[in-house]
Chains A and B, each alone.
Chain A
Amino acid sequence: MPDRNEDRAAERLDRLIADLLAGRHLKATPSDAGDREAIWAAARLAGAREGYPRMSPAFRRRLTGVLEKGEEPPWLTRRAALVAGLAAAAGALTGVGLEEAGRRGVPALGRFAPSAGKSTAATQPASSRAVIDPRGAAGRWADTGLVFAEMVEGEPKRVTAGSVGAFVFRKGNRVVAMSAYCTHLPCELAWKEKEHVLNCPCHDQNFDSEGLSLSEGYKLPALPLVNVRIRSGRVEVLGTA
């Protein structure tokens, strides 16, 4: 005999879980208090999905804006620094953060924009995307061997520049490059010619040619952009020495 109460509770809990997994507010109400321990467990499990949960660049900007509003000027820099610290401190705290953050190209506050190659890079506002931007002396522009005039739209090329692996797309008279690694688990993406997607074989997740997640449920973070430029007709990518 199916247990009606259990079915109802299962249905209700699944609705709450679906919200959690989609990044939406937990809509638990006092009528859910009886199952609060199960809901607590669901929240913890959902919270453990991402190896390193990060504030989205959009939220970071919003938060900086909120904090800066109505404050005296002397506080501004310190305040902005603290906002950045809210994320960085968490890295030190969980002990998994910084290396992972670096690998995923999480930009520090105020470093969203590519430092070079602006004229040729970035199809979208760079501010909404992480950018892989090797620091200082570590950064090196590498000739990818690609000749821009020979590149065909819709046929990205996989390139490596030191430690940076990227797919380079031609978009009209510009080039765009993005990380060649999935933002979920760091498996290497492969271009699927027929579907026109970058596919992650580990969990069969797809990204479109803008690097945006095509997942139906929880959207993965967009693929970080890689700085790219055209020099003497050849495509160069900012990687590491």
Chain B
Amino acid sequence: MYAYIYARVGNRADAEDLTQQVALKAIPRLRVGASAAAIRSYLFAAARSALANFWTARFGLPEDQLRDDIWIEPRPPEPGGNSAEKVQQILDQLPANYRRVLELRFLRGYSLKEVATELGTTVGGVKVMQLRALRAAGRVAFDA
């Protein structure tokens, strides 16, 4: 559950808060003897609703404006499905320079300065490129 949430909020602090919310809400309501599948779907329902609240609170938007599947996923993920694959699919659809800046900055943990050196540009240049690359990534994901 923690991994599921972490993959969606991208930071430990929020992932811990949301995991705790889910645990507090869901665990007292689980019945002894419930099947693993039932527990699983209950926990995911609680996680999805916690994530929905998270995004609507951040952006000050009502939930129906974030109804898009991508914000509030309608189903639990397939067992064995890997959220890193989704990120890879998005990256694969981006132009090479956008993909490169995002891979270095996020997946390989380079600082802005290191990315700038690697790509032969300035820190300001990397910030702008990063903005454009993320907007493009968002478009790819949301249009899919």
Contacts and interface: CB of A to CB of B under 8 A. Distances in A.
A25 B27 contact: no
Contacts of A66: 20, 23-24
B137 to A, nearest CB: 4
B117 interface: no
B109 interface: yes
Interface string A46-86: 11111111111001001100110001000000110011001
B23 A47 contact: no
A86 B60 contact: no
A37 interface: yes
A21 to B, nearest CB: 7
Contacts of B79: 92-93, 95
Most chain-A Cβ atoms within 10 A of its Cβ — which of B7, B14, B81, B111? Answer: B7
Interface string B73-102: 000010111111011101000000000001
A30 interface: yes
A44 B87 contact: yes
Contacts of B107: 45, 48-49
Contacts of A96: 82, 84
A166 B40 CA distance: 38
A48 B84 contact: yes
B23 A83 contact: yes
Given A33-B59, A45-B87, A38 B112 contact: no
A11 B19 CA distance: 30
Is the contact region of chain B dominated by helix, strand, or loop, or is it mixed?
helix
B40 A89 contact: yes
Contacts of A203: 108-109
A147 interface: no
Given A95-B82, A217-B111, A53 B106 contact: no
A150 interface: no
Interface residues of B, number: 64
Contact of A33 (B24, B60, B70, B82): B60
Is the contact region of chain A dominated by helix, strand, or loop, or is it mixed?
helix
B130 A10 contact: yes
Interface stretch (A12-20, A111-119, A126-134, A173-181): A12-20
Contact of B58 (A26, A56, A217): A26
A52 B81 CA distance: 13
Contacts of B15: 53
Most chain-B Cβ atoms within 10 A of its Cβ — which of A13, A37, A67, A91? Answer: A37
Interface in B1-32: 1-4, 6-17, 19-20, 23-24, 27-28, 30, 32
A127 B57 CA distance: 35
Contact of B20 (A11, A63, A87, A91): A63
Interface string A86-125: 1101111111110000000000000000000000000000
Contacts of A6: 128, 131
6 contacts: A7-B124, A25-B13, A26-B9, A33-B59, A95-B82, A203-B109
